[in-house]
Structure 1
């Protein structure tokens, strides 16, 4: 009886994993379908564990080699390959998309931290100490309400230049900089209550770079059940940044994983690079659950930069870890760092997603 129950449970779980994985082939924006983008590594691990339990249980009965056994083994191989192909570029054995810096020049380097604070997080001192210890040149802080904006003000000795947009809806934002901010815009590309910050910053060498902070709203079961607004905001930025000749850094909590269809499309359209490709996942969410972690906080950069350092910072009381990256401005390396190729179909898909947002009643800013 117990062995039969274990067999049924294992078959049911494997069938659900296969069905959910295949659902993600659809471009439908509903949260349940798009949500299968996230746990690819977890699905691989779970499928291997379930398969081991299944065959261990079958061996105990002395019966092996039935058509169902073959089906379970096939499903395990399928899931491992299907998801493995998608997450492989973010492993340390894959080719690096962004080159490492060979000759350091501190005047042309930029240290940036992206940190989703968690609006209800009360550990201000822990976060402030972490930032001071990391000593970035630029901080992109997300989920900033007025209480957090006041806390960030205490870093004015390090960051005299700040763009502050506090909100009480978990989408407030601050960009704090050691360097002069030449100009900036607080933009609402898709939804009137979801800002992004777009700034021109003069670094130590006197050269100017463009820094964009983003935090689109995710698809979720209760509100905004599909990914249309999130996808459209990212792709609107991508289309605009494609034509930018100035060095660009984009950072924020995209509420999307690195290997998703939308993030891949963003990179193809924008011609930006993802420094994690070939270096690792750098999972930033969920800080309190080791088994439930995904790379949600991102930093992308134009081909003007090479990478000196990238690492995840310690836990700061939020459900997100901060992520730190140090880039060096080396435009002479552009030709050695090709961006992902795009096709006419990619641009058509992007336009379709943006057009969906224009007709979506939740996209009030378009």
Structure 2
């Protein structure tokens, strides 16, 4: 029995080593990119396997070298993953400074505030009343909703009293999208950055102060085995947005289900290219998926923003029947605090990495459909 367990742990460590090294490759195959996700889970499995192996064999002199090897591998693998995920815990300094009322430069601080709710409703989810109730309770200024289909239009219509300005693009392919706002939408565009069935919503929003901010809702296609999708489309879309937003010096907020974890090479490349900030760094994971499986959750729903904003609050809301939890973020437009934030340091290889991802998308004949860098159309309240 003990021998069989030892062999099982040896095999498990072979898998753990492969899974730890796989993300170093830039290959887009879902089996490679999928190892970006469960770093926290890999740490737990590694610690547990190491502890079991040591407990079973600590008194066996013949296993002394095996013990040292497994213990060393356990520590190395754990530290390897912790290095990536610790920046998303309160153990490190927050990347985005917290806003305090004493930092307001005028008496109209509340008019420069943006409460944004990001929610993947899950197209098949039929708990419409639960979702609308939680949206109303969140009292957000804006909602970015992914996976909106025709079946979701009545629920969206029911929010018109609270969120009258609505841009809705329903689809039955899990990539419909809506942007709902109580704030005026100055102009907007539905954009298809990489694939003609994957929309993004790009809008200019007027705060109560009269200042304009650019808000973008995104939901790129994920790498996943069921449909044999690789990460080419997702990575290219993030690069395109990163390059475009780097040239836009206005206040920017981009959010949605990125189908990527915060610590992945693709998301961090996007942040370095765009110079945007991740408010979770230094605060917590805020795991949003999978809502039904506590043991396998990842931060897939994101809100990134320019350094014009400080943060009042960020939190995960309750279950809405979807496989994603909604994420609520409360931002304060406070450009005077720009020097209080710490964007990721750019790397000399960023442009080369971005070029590689775009070339891979071009080879796969994934072509950008919307070329206009800023919204141009006047919004029409729908659904």
Q: TM-score, normalised by structure 2?
A: 0.92
Q: Counterparts of 1:133 and 1:108 in 2: how far apart (Å)?
A: 21
1:88-127 matched pairs, under 5 angstroms: 88-103=86-101, 105-127=109-131
1:117-266 matched pairs, under 5 angstroms: 117-266=121-270
1:299 aligns with 2:292: no
Match of 1:14 in 2: 13
**For 2:115, what is the secondary structure of its paired residue?**
strand
Q: Counterparts of 2:354 and 2:18 in 1: how far apart (Å)?
A: 26
Match of 1:329 in 2: 333
Q: Counterparts of 2:326 and 2:122 in 1: how far apart (Å)?
A: 11
Measured after TM superposition, the shift of residue 65 of structure 1 is 5.0
Q: Counterparts of 2:99 and 2:180 in 1: how far apart (Å)?
A: 25
Measured after TM superposition, the shift of residue 222 of structure 1 is 3.8
1:35 aligns with 2:39: no
**For 1:24, what is the secondary structure of its paired residue?**
helix
Measured after TM superposition, the shift of residue 14 of structure 1 is 1.3
Q: Counterparts of 1:334 and 1:351 in 2: how far apart (Å)?
A: 29
Judge conservation of contact 1:229–1:363 (CA < 8 Å) in 2.
no
Judge conservation of contact 2:96–2:340 (CA < 8 Å) in 1.
no
Measured after TM superposition, the shift of residue 188 of structure 1 is 0.4
Judge conservation of contact 2:87–2:282 (CA < 8 Å) in 1.
yes
Judge conservation of contact 1:218–1:224 (CA < 8 Å) in 2.
no
Match of 1:338 in 2: 342
Structure 2: unaligned runs, 5 residues or longer: 371-383
Q: Counterparts of 1:125 and 1:178 in 2: how far apart (Å)?
A: 20
Q: Counterparts of 2:79 and 2:184 in 1: how far apart (Å)?
A: 48
Measured after TM superposition, the shift of residue 93 of structure 1 is 1.1
- The 10-residue stretch of structure 1 (235-244 or 101-110) with the greater mean CA deviation from structure 2: 101-110
Match of 2:381 in 1: none
Structure 1: unaligned runs, 5 residues or longer: none
1:281-320 matched pairs, under 5 angstroms: 281-320=285-324
Judge conservation of contact 1:139–1:175 (CA < 8 Å) in 2.
yes
Q: Counterparts of 2:203 and 2:352 in 1: how far apart (Å)?
A: 29
Measured after TM superposition, the shift of residue 186 of structure 1 is 0.3
Judge conservation of contact 1:268–1:340 (CA < 8 Å) in 2.
yes
Judge conservation of contact 2:276–2:306 (CA < 8 Å) in 1.
yes
Moved over 6 A (4+): none
Would the alpha carbon gap of residues 65 and 8 (structure 1) be closer, same or farther in structure 2, given more than 3 Å must change?
Answer: closer
